[in-house]
Amino acid sequence: MRDGSSRMPDPASEAIVRPVKSIFIWILAGALLGIAAASIVVPPMLSWYNEAGYLSQGGQPSAMVNLPQVVRYSTSRLIRGQAIGGGIGAVVFFVLGLALGGRGRARREAASATPPTQRVQ
């Protein structure tokens, strides 16, 4: 039987888990921001690309549409854009997490390595 309350955390495993957890949080934040950005950017792009005047250059645009097909097309493109945005955001924030996460870790290690000295008067 395993009792987690009496165990002290292993410093070696904690040193591994903390940076991985930090990078994972950066990746998730980037993915969520990428999805949010894609949700804002993709719908105007879809409407611009599918304007009736641009598709039928010569005459009147047709008023008859296959609505289920239009809905499937629009939602599939929106979801694809969100997936791409999430992937790009995750990669960008992974790199940021590596770059910025190491600074805080190095500062903490430097602070713990040098004990404070007392001034002699």
Give the pLDDT band of residue 113 (cuts 50, 70, 90): low
Mean pLDDT value across the chain: 77
H-type helices in the chain, by residue range? 11-49, 52-55, 67-113
Q: Which residue has the higher pLDDT, 105 or 23?
A: 23
**What residues have CB less than 8 Å from 19, skipping those under 6 apart?**
101, 105
Say yes or no to pLDDT of 53 above 60. Answer: no
Give the pLDDT band of residue 40 (cuts 50, 70, 90): very high
The token duo for 64 is 């008859």
Model-level pTM greater than 0.75? no
Please write the tens of the pLDDT for every residue from 59-110: 555 657 777 787 888 888 899 999 999 999 999 999 999 998 765 555 666 6
Q: For 28-59, b where at least 16 C-beta lie within 10 A, e where not — what string?
A: eebbebbbebbeeebeeeeeeeeeeeeeeeee
